[in-house]
Structure 1
């Protein structure tokens, strides 16, 4: 019974996460349990566990009188998240580079090519995530990889709002190319520096997005 419950809660959390990242549930929007339970055809128990899970990941805030709402990030939030990402992801690729096998590197090359051809922002987001996860995967620290994934999830919705982040910004694919080349050369120091610089590029773009949204709101 416990295994089934966990699986259901995880499944609902995954679906809710995608609604938030994809922008269907916007910042400040209330999560109405009755409506969501009907939508996902689940009871309130796994739904509440899913919401608690997203709250731990920083995607949702739970208020005593308002219930759960999609968290709105401030400029400071974004600045802090990308600062942590630069540290964690730079260290992850540094540790991973010399452990990567040829099959993983070949997969990363394929994903890089597919990312350059992707049209939809959703597909770009999925491929971008896979590209980085492939290159970090051999770092040897599972908790670090979980932290990286959760931090990325908190800002990915803003990245998708800014279409130029991947589709119309050649520098992003060029930065991916440089990171991949450093990994193929087994140059851990270069891969770390290039990854940190890549994240700084994203930070600047997303900070502009969040600042504009705050000014409009």
Structure 2
């Protein structure tokens, strides 16, 4: 029997892929049948997503996929810039040759990735590798949760990663700063990279949410 954790992960994937779009109702009966589980772990999974900001729960109306406003996206990316900029700044000072080599390999693999899913996976891995040496697990968890909030619009990986060449140039700048041990530049390049992503995400969001 599935626990709430894998159910929450499955629901995140459905939201990120757009199969459960903005405003979609999470009908417990239908989802319980789909995943062949009872409603108790499913309800726990939905509550977990609500705590992460992906779902909104309404009394007598159930749960719905949360629609992010432009202001929400600004808030998420402003926080990401603070947390990710700080993470990489501190990580650079602890980064070893193995981490840099792995990040370089992922960067090269991203150039050759031919599906949106693979691009997204490698993009997440690239950043996670570079942030991990900061050593603050709560900070890394917060970064993952903030990324999850906007990931559905980064399916927009269709937009973000249709724009892969410019993003890869930004990745290269970040990586070069890390190799050089330049923590200030790594932070500045990471913030610039997230600023580019924010603009693309806000534009892509309008394709799915035409009015506030």
> Normalising by the residue count of structure 2, what TM-score does the alignment of the two structures yield?
0.95
Q: Does 1:27 align with 2:22?
A: yes
Distance in 2, matches of 1:192 and 1:81, equals 17
Aligned counterpart, 2:199: 204
Match of 2:140 in 1: 145
Pairing partner for 2:188 from 188, 193, 213: 193
Distance 1:140 1:110 in 2: 22
Runs of 5+ in structure 1 lacking a partner? Answer: none
Cα deviation code 1:134-191 (max 9, x no counterpart): 0000112111111110110111111113523123342100000010111111111110
**In structure 2, how many angstroms separate the alpha carbons of the residues matched to 1:31 and 1:163?**
25
In structure 1, C-alpha distance between the alignment counterparts of 2:11 and 2:206, rounded to whole Å: 25
Aligned to 1:174: 169
Matches of residues 8-157 of structure 1 in structure 2 within 5 Å?
Answer: 8-157=3-152
CA offset at residue 123 of structure 1?
Answer: 1.2
Greater shift in the superposed pair: 190-199 or 36-45: 36-45
- Whether the aligned pair in 2 keeps the contact of 1:95 and 1:188 (CA below 8 Å) is yes
Q: Which moved more, 1:59-68 or 1:153-162?
A: 153-162
What is the total number of aligned residue pairs between the two structures? 212
- The residue number in structure 2 matching 1:164 is 159
TM-score by length of 1: 0.93
Q: Is the 8 A contact 2:116 2:157 kept in 1?
A: no
CA RMSD of aligned residues (A): 1.5
